[in-house]
């Protein structure tokens, strides 16, 4: 079972209480207060771990609490701080606030961390209250409670290429042809019920990660079919392969299918619809009429995107499609790197301004 959404409760550890104590030993009259401070509570951190691929570990465990701080002791001994709690999530996890819409963090890369709940501060012991006029204080502070929050986690798969199209357009067959992924393949709609990832080896030290999502239908962005649940998994892809079934046996209208899928992408996210796209006519092994292929090719020319005709079952045209997708992925990767470098530069300038102001 593939789990890509979870609701969790995180609690920071409570701070330890301060101590009321006085130094009492032989030959030390008026030893004075020596109550130590309580330890600070541990924090809860979310950590991106590449060994995880889904949020399945959150199916049955929903509450994560850090260790509490120990109480202070006499002889000015400070209580031990509580240990932090590390909660591991797969890269690509988005952390949302309790309202389910406000984004708090995006743990995109391996090792990214987010402070989910801060631990409570330890209370002061009576030695902290001693003054020249109040030399024997008997008061101390209790530890502060740790922060408690409700968070929502959403996983968005990270891939180079996303496969989109109507059910039974040949997406699962294609990913099984080009990678070691083995999704379920059958002759009925919605065979794919969860996203599949496949790694494609192009040779010469080149590889691509491909994401196959369940088929889209009209109204997917509003909840029809399975689309709205999985459309977010192609938000992080760099290139979209738009698969269109051109076989005559199904009786589908290719132009209508293209318009519907592009409309659903646009309705879900303008950024998603703006991604580089390749229009792919599938199931050419069924010998579709030349007119159907020509119609799809002319539509690709009108949209200003590349066109390829393939048969995932026989492998015809698949290699050429992958070679055409590779430079598009590289260009998108370079754009992302330049955008990230510019953003880092802006952040650095801002940090320097704050430092010297």
For residues 21 and 151, state if they share a domain. yes
For residues 44 and 87, state if they share a domain. yes
- Whole domain around residue 312: which residue ranges? 161-337
Tokens of 23: 């130094």
What does the pLDDT read at residue 228?
Answer: 56
What single string gives the DSSP state of each residue in 229-290? HHGGGGTT-SEEEEEEE--SSS---HHHHHHHHHHHHHHH-HHHHTS-EEEEEE-GGG---H
For the chain, report the end-to-end CA distance as a whole number of angstroms. Answer: 53
What does the pLDDT read at residue 175?
Answer: 87
Best CA proximity match to 153, nearest among 225, 90, 230: 90
For residues 184 and 277, state if they share a domain. yes
Q: Count up the domains in the chain and report the number.
A: 2
- Contact residues for 146 (Cβ-Cβ < 8 A; gap 6+): 11, 12, 13, 14, 15, 41, 42, 43, 65, 66, 68, 117, 118, 119, 120
Q: Do the domain assignments include residue 347? A: no
CATH number of the domain to which 95 belongs: 2.70.210.12
Helix (H) or strand (E) holding 60: none
- Contact residues for 251 (Cβ-Cβ < 8 A; gap 6+): none
181: Cα separation from own chain's centroid? 21
Q: Do the domain assignments include residue 246? A: yes
Best CA proximity match to 313, nearest among 130, 172, 152: 172
Rounded Cα distance, 344 and 165, in Å: 36
For residues 69 and 186, state if they share a domain. no
For residues 172 and 55, state if they share a domain. no
Tokens of 272: 């998603």
Quote the DSSP letter at residue 7: E
Rounded Cα distance, 92 and 95, in Å: 10
Q: Do the domain assignments include residue 349? A: no
For residues 112 and 229, state if they share a domain. no
Helix (H) or strand (E) holding 85: strand 85-89
For residues 250 and 318, state if they share a domain. yes
Quote the DSSP letter at residue 347: H
Q: How far is CA 276 from CA 64, 217, 265, 306, in A?
A: 41, 21, 12, 9
pLDDT in tens, the chain (357 residues): 567 789 999 999 999 999 999 988 888 777 889 999 999 999 999 999 988 888 888 988 999 999 999 999 999 999 999 999 999 999 989 999 999 889 999 998 899 999 999 999 999 999 999 998 888 899 999 999 999 999 999 988 778 898 888 888 888 888 888 887 665 554 544 455 567 778 888 888 888 888 887 766 665 445 544 555 667 778 888 999 999 988 887 777 889 889 988 888 888 888 888 899 999 999 888 888 888 899 999 999 999 999 999 998 889 999 999 999 999 999 988 888 777 654 445 444 433 333 322
Q: Do the domain assignments include residue 343? A: no
Q: Is 349 left (phi over 0), alpha (psi -120 to 50) or beta?
A: alpha
Model confidence over 92-133: pLDDT tens digits?
Answer: 899 999 998 899 999 988 999 999 999 999 999 999 999 988
Rounded Cα distance, 99 and 323, in Å: 44
What does the pLDDT read at residue 252?
Answer: 79
- Contact residues for 354 (Cβ-Cβ < 8 A; gap 6+): none
For residues 150 and 171, state if they share a domain. no
Q: Is 225 left (phi over 0), alpha (psi -120 to 50) or beta?
A: left
The position carrying tokens 């509003």 is 222
Quote the DSSP letter at residue 313: T
The position carrying tokens 């709690």 is 85
What does the pLDDT read at residue 184?
Answer: 53
For residues 230 and 189, state if they share a domain. yes
What does the pLDDT read at residue 272?
Answer: 85
Model confidence over 149-167: pLDDT tens digits?
Answer: 999 999 887 788 988 888 8
Instruction: Specify the length of the chain in residues.
Output: 357
For residues 305 and 225, state if they share a domain. yes
For residues 147 and 169, state if they share a domain. no
CATH number of the domain to which 252 belongs: 3.40.50.300
For residues 19 and 148, state if they share a domain. yes
CA atoms within 13 A on the CB side of 100: 3
């Amino acid at each position: 079972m593939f789990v890509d959404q979870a609701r969790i409760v995180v609690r920071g550890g409570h701070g330890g209480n301060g101590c009321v104590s006085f130094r009492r030993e032989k030959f030390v009259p008026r030893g004075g207060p020596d109550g130590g401070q309580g330890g600070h509570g541990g924090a809860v951190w979310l950590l991106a771990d590449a060994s995880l691929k889904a949020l399945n570990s959150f199916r049955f465990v929903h509450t994560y609490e850090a260790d509490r701080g120990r109480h202070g002791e006499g002889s000015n001994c400070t209580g031990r701080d509580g240990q932090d709690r590390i909660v591991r999530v797969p890269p690509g996890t988005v952390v949302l606030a309790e309202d389910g819409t406000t984004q708090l963090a995006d743990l995109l890369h391996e090792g990214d961390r987010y402070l989910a709940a801060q631990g409570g501060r330890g209370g002061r012991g009576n030695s902290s209250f001693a003054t020249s006029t109040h030399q024997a204080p008997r008061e101390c502070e209790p530890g502060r409670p740790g922060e408690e929050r409700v968070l929502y986690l959403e996983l968005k798969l990270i891939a180079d290429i996303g496969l989109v199209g109507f059910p039974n357009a040949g997406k699962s067959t294609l990913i099984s042809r080009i990678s070691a992924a083995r999704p379920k393949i059958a002759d009925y709609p919605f065979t794919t019920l969860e996203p599949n990832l496949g790694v494609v080896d192009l040779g010469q030290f080149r590889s691509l990660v491909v994401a196959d999502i369940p088929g889209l239908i009209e109204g997917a962005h509003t909840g029809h079919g399975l689309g709205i649940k999985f459309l977010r998994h192609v938000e992080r892809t760099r290139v979209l392969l738009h698969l269109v079934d051109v076989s005559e046996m199904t009786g589908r209208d290719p132009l209508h299918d293209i318009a519907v899928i592009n409309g659903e992408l646009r309705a879900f996210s303008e950024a998603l619809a703006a991604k580089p796209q390749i229009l792919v006519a599938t199931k050419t092994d069924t010998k579709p009429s030349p007119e159907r292929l020509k119609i799809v090719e002319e539509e690709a020319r009108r949209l200003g995107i590349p066109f390829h005709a393939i048969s995932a079952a026989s492998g015809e045209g698949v290699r050429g499609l992958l070679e055409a997708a590779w430079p598009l992925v590289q260009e998108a990767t370079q754009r992302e790197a330049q955008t990230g470098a510019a953003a880092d530069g802006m952040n650095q300038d801002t940090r320097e301004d704050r430092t010297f102001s």
